[in-house]
């Protein structure tokens, strides 16, 4: 799936080309790293109301999960990772990278964070979660919509106990294209007969129409810095165009229930499983070194 449906939105600002301007990040000193690791290990007090909302709606947005200054450092670091991976002279409308945690210590603290994984396992109602992958998502000024989709078909995991934490790296007002959700864990059933057309935006338009006709609540509210969302693998989501002059950067980390298996017939669209779970064969329990247990419940 391509994340940017229409390369450039008609309502976008004059700046159409991504021009990453941030400098290479200052080194993060050991005392800040230690503080960050400590903060990211503190359990989050998740209310039973939040767990119920996630179960009913398929997503939840939670404020004050991560320290704002630590996120600003992470933004600088991920921006430099993207520049190294993709170059500065890029006209990409959407910059992304994966598996950054394997080679960057700062990113690793966030991706393997006990606090984030604890929320994921409590929302899913499972004993332990493992990492599927990390994903940097930088939607550049002028980049158009992320089409409606749900992640289940794109993940080669034979379980529905899978969710993604979407972590904004700066505040994301509506005009910057925050991740947006169609409420309802069963909403996907309304559109399961609609065939996907990868050549144009008709699928995306038809979905928007069906959701409007059925009065499905769409949550496209902005995010404060420190606020993060979790969406279930069956949750329909989208993101608007970035109509600002700043890159809309987010880190997405996906977790699945410990004990889940690789699907028995992985297809082209079920993702690059060899890259994310090396040496795991179709039908096997996913337990490669790239899929560490990030949170194990004490109870």
Ligand X SMILES: O=C(O)CCC(=O)C(=O)O
**Minimum CB distance to Fe ion, residue 7 (Å):** 19
Residue with tokens 């005009």: 175
Beta-bridge partner residues of 76: none
Q: Does 227 bind Fe ion (CB under 5 A)?
A: no
Question: What's the CA gap between 1 and 197, in Å, rounded?
Answer: 11
239 interacts with, out of Fe ion, ligand X, none, CB within 5 to 8 A per kind:
ligand X
Q: Measured on CA atoms in the order 142, 249, 130, 120, is the torsion positive or negative?
A: negative
Q: Which residues bind ligand X (CB under 6 A)?
A: 3, 137, 139, 146, 151, 164, 166, 179, 237, 239, 250, 252
**Minimum CB distance to ligand X, residue 279 (Å):** 26
Query: Could you tell me if 126 and 54 are in contact, meaning their C-beta atoms sit under 8 angstroms apart?
Result: no
Distances (CA, A) of 76 to 68, 144, 181: 13, 23, 27
Strand bridging mode 237-239 / 146-149: antiparallel
Q: Does 204 bind Fe ion (CB under 5 A)?
A: no
**Minimum CB distance to ligand X, residue 110 (Å):** 15
Q: Which is nearer to Fe ion, 103 or 198 (CB)?
A: 198
Interface with Fe ion in residues 142-171 (CB under 5 A)? 151
**Minimum CB distance to ligand X, residue 250 (Å):** 6
Strands (E), 140-247: 146-149, 162-168, 179-182, 218-219, 228-232, 237-239
Q: Which is nearer to ligand X, 124 or 250 (CB)?
A: 250
Q: Which is nearer to Fe ion, 62 or 165 (CB)?
A: 165
Q: Which is nearer to ligand X, 112 or 250 (CB)?
A: 250
Instruction: Give me the residues that bind Fe ion (CB under 5 A), please.
Output: 151
């Amino acid at each position: 799936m391509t994340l940017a449906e229409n390369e450039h939105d008609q309502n976008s600002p004059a700046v159409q080309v991504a021009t990453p301007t941030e400098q290479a990040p200052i080194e993060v000193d050991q005392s800040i790293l230690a503080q960050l690791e400590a903060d990211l290990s503190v359990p989050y007090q998740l209310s039973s109301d939040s767990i119920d909302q996630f179960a009913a709606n398929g997503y939840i947005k939670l404020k004050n999960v991560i320290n704002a200054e630590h996120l600003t450092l992470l933004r600088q670091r991920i921006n430099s990772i993207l520049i190294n991976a993709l170059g500065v002279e890029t006209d990409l409308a959407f910059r992304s990278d994966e598996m950054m945690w394997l080679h960057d210590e700062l990113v690793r603290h966030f991706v393997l964070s006990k606090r984030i994984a604890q929320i994921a396992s409590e929302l899913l109602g499972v004993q332990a979660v493992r990492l599927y992958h990390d994903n940097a998502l930088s939607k550049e000024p002028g980049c158009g919509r992320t089409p409606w989709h749900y992640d289940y078909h794109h993940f080669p995991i034979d379980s529905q106990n899978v969710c993604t934490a979407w972590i904004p790296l700066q505040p994301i007002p509506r005009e910057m294209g925050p991740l947006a959700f169609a409420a309802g864990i069963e909403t996907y059933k309304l559109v399961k007969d609609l065939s996907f057309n990868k050549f144009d935006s008709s699928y995306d338009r038809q979905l928007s129409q069906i959701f409007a006709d059925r009065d499905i609540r769409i949550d496209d509210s902005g995010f404060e810095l420190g606020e993060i969302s979790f969406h279930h693998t069956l949750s329909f989501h989208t993101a608007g165009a970035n109509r600002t002059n700043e890159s809309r950067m987010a880190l997405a980390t996906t977790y699945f229930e410990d004990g889940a298996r690789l699907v028995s017939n992985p297809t082209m669209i079920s993702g690059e499983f060899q890259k994310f779970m090396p040496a795991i064969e179709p039908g096997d329990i996913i337990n490669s070194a790239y899929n560490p247990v990030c949170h194990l419940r004490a109870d």
